[in-house]
Amino acid sequence: MNDAPDFDAARSSALARYRALFDTIDDGFCIIEFFDGPHGPLSDYVHIEANSGYERHTGIRDVVGKTLRDIDPTEADRWLDLYGAVLRTGTPARFERYFLTARRHIEVSAARVEPQSLRQVSVLFRDISARRKAEEERDRAAASLRALNETLEQRVAERTAELMRAEEQLRQAQKMEAVGQLTGGLAHDFNNLLAGVSGSLQLLSIRLSQGRIADVDKYVVAAQGAVRRAAGLTHRLLAFSRRQTLDPRPTDVNALVNGMTDLIQRTVGPGIRVEAVGATGSWPALVDSGQLENALLNLCINARDAMPDGGRITIETANKWIDRYAARTLDMPEGQFLSLCVTDTGTGMTRDVMAKAFDPFFTTKPIGMGTGLGLSMIYGFAKQSGGQVRIYSEVGQGTTVCIYLPRFYGDADGEAAHHASPPISSTEAGETVLIVDDEPSVRMLVTDVLEEAGYAVIEAADSIAGLKLLQSNVRIDLLISDVGLPGGMNGRQMADAARQARPGLKVLFITGYAENSVIGHGQLEPGMQVLTKPFAIETLAARVRQLIQG
């Protein structure tokens, strides 16, 4: 009898601990018990147990003692189906539901309380709002990523097009800046030259009208000097634009350098030592040797100006194999080249100066000390010759400029002998020259020079008239033609057509500037030569005599 109070006390203590745990767990929990109602067997249930978490998760207060049909009559049948299946089968159920009153996503777990005869089901409510929010954010991110991937190619294409447009605008701006610089420099130099020519001619006219013939010569000399300087300026501009008329021949560059060393030493002065280092077994280069000499001298003068306190100039040649990678790096074709490099121990160049070094009229020299066309002329000459020119420099260490020239596969000496000039002799009777040029002043000048030399001269103003004469029976020993002609044919096309009827016709092209492709990329056929305007009358007469006799 004395054990009963102890048992009741233990049971009360256990129930108290269970209740404390039951009420303190975060999850909501309840036990429902089915009963037979007005709607039939097991047609309703009542909440017989619920902890405080139940209200937090469902938003329903004081649920103990309330029936389903009291709480949610509209959804009662659906809840009865869910929990009734758990009661009948004993199979636990788990599902998710959004409780509007609590504004939470809840995961609901239901299990039958054994034995089945109790007609009870335990229900656990777990808040999964944070998880659902994370899942929704993940799904949104995944959807955004899918959309991003789907439009990535299009956006890359749009961005690429945008960058290309920006790059093209930059190139156009740089091009216009270069054109402005070129135009300004050209106008300045030519206005100076025209002032010298115009002033000399005006004073020449005044002195002749006054009968003061003794003063005539100095004005003639001044005008001729200005014309020569203008011709040199246009020559450098054409070299820069790769439009000069070249005469590429197989050339021994080592021999060319050795032949110029004394001239270069005298030009740079005694304070600078000039060294020539020729590669053993160097290849011949296919190049206009006269233009290469000008380029070499120009580079050495630039080197001298970079060493005001003296120093050393080294001229080197080397055989170069340019592979695909080097060709991309140097912006030139693959193949075998001869390099001609000039190195100084001078002040060097900054990156900004190197980037503009080949621009026409760009110079770092004081006003009046340089035209700014030297390196641009060398660049154009190298590119037109099928090669390249590159600058390597460090401030305070010096500069190296390398010209890359295409290799010639053959014997330079034999080729040079083949092109040797024949001796000039007197005119033979009856020799006739046809002049085709659309500029009347040029035709007049050439006609007067040749008639004074004893030639018979025929004139034509366009390619149609010229070709008619060439296809006639008139004697023509030499054709002198401009390259750019009206009449539907250029000078080269007219000469080629004429050679169908006159296979041995000698041809001298005279041109202010010619597309190299029109001339034949420098590879003229035998019996054809080129003379660049303006030219000295002695040079014209000698070239005519050489061709006719050859």
Query: Across the beta sheet with 120-127, what order do the strands follow?
Result: 40-50, 28-37, 120-127, 104-113, 93-99
In a domain, 136, yes or no: no
b/e for 197-226, b at 16 or more Cβ within 10 A? beebeebbeebeeeeeeeeeeebeebbeeb
> What is the residue range of 397's domain?
249-415
In a domain, 7, yes or no: no
Residues 385 and 253 in one domain: yes
| Residue 48 CB contacts under 8 Å (≥ 6 apart), including other chains | 31, 32, 33, 64, 65, 120
Predicted confidence at residue 179, as pLDDT, reads 53
In a domain, 517, yes or no: yes
Residues 470 and 449 in one domain: yes
Residues 275 and 402 in one domain: yes
Residues 361 and 501 in one domain: no
In a domain, 31, yes or no: yes
Predicted confidence at residue 374, as pLDDT, reads 62
Q: How many CB atoms lie within 10 A of CB 298?
A: 19
Q: Full-prediction pTM beyond 0.95?
A: no
The residue among 240, 263, 293 that closes a domain is 240
Q: Is residue 492 within 8 Å of 520, Cβ to Cβ?
A: yes
| Token pair recorded at residue 48 | 């017989």
How many helices (H) and strands (E) are present in the chain, helices listed first? 17, 17
| Angle formed at CA 223 by CA 221 and CA 226, multiple of 5 degrees | 110
Q: Return the closest-CA partner of residue 382 out of 342, 437, 418.
A: 342
The conformation of residue 484, written as its DSSP 8-state character, comes to: S
Q: Please report, for the domain that includes residue 260, its CATH number.
A: 3.30.565.10
Predicted confidence at residue 417, as pLDDT, reads 35
The residue among 186, 212, 240 that closes a domain is 240
Predicted confidence at residue 248, as pLDDT, reads 79
In a domain, 140, yes or no: no
Q: Please report, for the domain that includes residue 544, its CATH number.
A: 3.40.50.2300
Residues 462 and 540 in one domain: yes
In a domain, 46, yes or no: yes
| pLDDT in single tens digits along all 550 residues of the chain | 455 566 667 666 666 676 666 667 778 889 999 999 888 898 999 999 888 888 888 888 888 999 988 888 888 888 899 999 999 999 999 988 887 776 788 888 999 999 989 999 999 888 888 888 888 888 888 888 877 777 777 777 787 778 777 767 665 665 555 555 555 655 666 666 677 677 777 777 877 888 778 777 777 777 777 777 776 666 655 544 445 556 678 889 999 998 888 888 888 888 889 998 888 888 999 888 878 887 888 888 888 888 888 899 999 999 988 888 888 888 888 888 999 999 999 888 888 887 777 766 556 555 444 444 567 778 877 888 888 888 888 888 889 999 999 988 876 654 433 343 334 344 555 789 999 988 888 888 888 888 888 899 999 988 888 999 998 888 999 999 988 888 888 888 899 899 988 988 999 988 776 544 455 545 577 888 888 777 778 888 888 988 988 7
Distance CA 513, CA 238 (A): 7
In a domain, 220, yes or no: yes
Residues 187 and 271 in one domain: no
Distance CA 290, CA 16 (A): 115
Residues 254 and 365 in one domain: yes
Which residues is 49 bridged to in the sheet?
31
Predicted confidence at residue 111, as pLDDT, reads 92
Residues 263 and 396 in one domain: yes
Residues 194 and 65 in one domain: no
The domain tally of the chain equals 4
Distance CA 28, CA 175 (A): 77
Give strand ranges (E) for 230-358: 249-251, 272-277, 285-287, 311-322, 335-344
Residues 233 and 284 in one domain: no
The residue among 415, 431, 452 that closes a domain is 415
Q: Please report, for the domain that includes residue 78, its CATH number.
A: 3.30.450.20
* Strands 506-511 and 528-532, sheet pairing: parallel
* Burial class, 154, CB count within 10 angstroms (exposed 0-12 / middle 13-18 / buried 19+): exposed
Residues 468 and 496 in one domain: yes
In a domain, 9, yes or no: no
Predicted confidence at residue 423, as pLDDT, reads 40
Residues 42 and 80 in one domain: yes
